[in-house]
Amino acid sequence: MRAAMILAGAVVAGLAGVALAADPPLPPVLNDYPTEARAEYVFACMAANGQTRDALTRCSCSIDQIAAILPYDGYVAAETVLMLRQTSGERSTLFRGTAATTAVVAELRRAQAEAEILCF
């Protein structure tokens, strides 16, 4: 009896291994934006568009669309450049006129424009 149970366990384990080996690989992470970043975006969006349920829905849709277009690292880079452009002095000129920083911000602006079309 004990040998039959061990054999049955081995067969089940073997079948599980075959099933796991046949499973397709998992897709890359589709939701790499942390909840905090999404919430910050929605709060800022609602401050600009009104504190209503409709604004909440539209702003949530907007960050979801941006996240589908732009990876989180690109979003952080663009937000950082935009923040640093608001500072005064010589240091901020580094972030205003270079092609690299302009391209980073342009990607975010493109994603925001598409999100606005789809959500607002």
Residue 56 lies in a domain: yes
For residue 119, pLDDT over 60 is answered with yes
pTM: 0.73
What are the structure tokens assigned to 66, written together? 């941006």
Query: Can you say how many angstroms the Cα of residue 103 is from the centroid of all Cα atoms in its chain?
Result: 19
Residue 53 lies in a domain: yes
Residue entry with tokens 């690989």: 25
pLDDT tens, residue by residue, 23-36: 565 455 567 999 99
Q: What is the pLDDT of residue 95?
A: 85
What are the structure tokens assigned to 36, written together? 């905090």
Residue 24 lies in a domain: no
C-alpha 37/C-alpha 34 separation (Å) is 5
Domains in the chain, number: 1
Residue 74 lies in a domain: yes
User: What's the domain range around 46?
Assistant: 29-119
Residue 13 lies in a domain: no
Taking residues 65-71, report their average pLDDT: 97
For residue 111, pLDDT over 90 is answered with yes
Q: Which of 80, 83, 60, 75 is nearest to 110 (CA)?
A: 75
Residue 5 lies in a domain: no
Residue 93 lies in a domain: yes
Residue 77 lies in a domain: yes
How many of the other CB atoms lie within 10 Å of CB of 86?
Answer: 8
Q: What is the pLDDT of residue 2?
A: 45
